[in-house]
Structure 1
Amino acid sequence: MQLPTLTAGRIVRRYKRFLADVTLADGTTVVAHVPNTGSMAGCWEPGAPVQLSHSDDPRRKLAWTLERVDMGGGWIGINTARPNAVIAEGIASGAIPPLAGYPRLRREVAYRAADGSAGRLDIGLGDDAQPFRPRVLVEVKNVTLLDGDCLRFPDARTERGRRHLDLLMAAVAEGLRGVMVFALNRPEGDRFAPAWAIDQAYGERLQQAAAAGVEVMALRLLHEADGIRVGASVPVDLQQDGSRQDGSRQGGFQQDGSG
């Protein structure tokens, strides 16, 4: 995914959840929108290098948007609006083999299960003519919480995240493929696991979803000079005791990061 033109700076502080003061290279301090509802634990500190995008839209209250932060290991994606587009592009280009082969892709797909539960999931895949009927429903979660060598989700309690898992389980029960993609939006960490200490209920629901047939994938997002693309899969560990689990058993795949 091509990013807009990026401007370098250093973050001074994050406050009121969606605001950050950033000092640009010329010494100017600007207020940037922080498009991230999470805690951003371990994703910023005063003085850390950042990159911002700028909009000339007069309707916007803030022209600057915080895009990436470098905590010493490489770029961390802060803008939670980006991963869905990156994953959608990766699917369309065939860069995610388990999700390849579906000629139609739609974003923000409404789904109503037979039990009456309903909601929107990030991506629907299918090959039907009109009307579009998805054969695969995909939910994407942005992951930036680093715990040692492990990337975890969520970084704050998420009832909404549990509802998405419920919808994916309902889809599987009705004969569709349900896929939960964790987009690992920083370069560190060599495995993915639920953040048990933060949201025990989410971890348990994710275990239930996997047992019910929901495919769980953890995919690295690779940050380049002017864009982001899908990289290799990372092993998924759903065991609360921390034991590792082969990512291929949860729908993972291995891909050369240079492709």
Structure 2
Amino acid sequence: MSIKGDIQEAFFIKRLNRFVAKILVNNKIEFAHVPNTGRMKELLIKDRKVLVRKVEDKNRKTKYDLLMVFYKDTLVAIDSRLPNKILYKAFYNKQLPYFKDYVEVKKEINFGKSRFDIGLVNRKNIVLIEAKCVTLVENNIAKFPDAPTERGTKHIKEIIKASSEGFGTGIFFIIQRNDAKFFSPNWELDSKFSEALKEANDRGVLIKAITCNINKEKMSLNEEIPIILEQ
């Protein structure tokens, strides 16, 4: 998937709130939209080099989007909107070996009180897919979430319910970096989410974790990695 727009190098200064960061770009202090509500404390550190996209929109308060962070030798994409897009495209182009009998791919499917990112429609049923953005890697283990998420736990419980009612279901953790060897729910940070994910697996929900290859011009799915669900 192409990363379009005027991409520039900058330096991170400070996160002002969940959505706005102060940056130094072209030797000038500017403000950037942060398209991810996660904490990302290990990534967003003062003076760290980042990639931003300049946005020409007079109605916006920020002139840039903060897209990627250089972490040691790894480029990390932080935009939490990307997993939906890259997963939708992969299913649309029949590039993934899961749920092969679908005939249509839809965006944003409602079920119960939740909205799921992707729906795969076949002749008999519909498969509900939830995509999660993962940026945290510790000791080669990708972890989600990096902040407690009641909404994420709610979505998992809804997808368990959908599975029990006969829907196909899947949760895909898209790891927006290429240095992870395993994936695990973040038990220390959010035990409720982790328990719910383990239950989903036990109840037959397909759970996958896939790393990505990233450069300043594009992001692509790389490889599926093993999942460790036990605490």
- TM over 0.5: same fold? yes
Residue 202 of structure 1: which of 162, 176, 193 is its match?
193
Counterpart of 1:141, as a letter, is: K
Deviates more, 1:228-237 or 1:39-48: 39-48
Counterpart Cα distance in 1 of 2:143 and 2:58: 38
Tell me, which stretches of 5 or more residues in structure 2 are unaligned? Answer: none
* 8 Å contact kept, 2:30–2:63: no
Matched with 1:162 is 153
Counterpart of 1:123, as a letter, is: I
Structure 2 counterparts to residues 79-98 of structure 1, below 5 A: 79-98=79-98
Q: Deviations over 1:217-254 (max 9, x none)?
A: 001122133111111101001011xxxxxxxxxxxxxx
Counterpart Cα distance in 2 of 1:145 and 1:227: 20
Matched with 2:209 is 218
Indicate the RMSD between aligned Cα atoms, in angstroms.
Answer: 1.5
Matched with 2:120 is 125
Counterpart Cα distance in 2 of 1:119 and 1:217: 20
Counterpart Cα distance in 2 of 1:99 and 1:148: 32
1:9 equivalent in alignment to 2:10 = yes
Q: Deviation of residue 100 (structure 1)?
A: 3.8
Deviates more, 1:10-19 or 1:153-162: 10-19
Query: Which structure shows the higher strand fraction?
Result: 2
Shift of the 214–45 alpha-carbon distance from structure 1 to 2, 3 Å rule, reads same
Counterpart Cα distance in 2 of 1:173 and 1:123: 19
Q: Deviation of residue 73 (structure 1)?
A: 2.6
Matched with 1:34 is 34
TM score, norm. by length of structure 2: 0.94
Q: Deviation of residue 95 (structure 1)?
A: 2.3
Q: Deviation of residue 124 (structure 1)?
A: 0.4
Aligned sequence identity (%)? 28
Structure 2 counterparts to residues 36-51 of structure 1, below 5 A: 36-51=36-51
* 8 Å contact kept, 2:210–2:221: yes
Secondary structure, counterpart of 1:98 in structure 2:
coil
Query: Following TM superposition, where does structure 1 have runs of at least 4 consecutive aligned residues deviating by more than 3 angstroms?
Result: none
* 8 Å contact kept, 1:90–1:229: no
Secondary structure, counterpart of 2:157 in structure 1:
helix
* 8 Å contact kept, 1:50–1:67: yes
* 8 Å contact kept, 2:181–2:226: yes
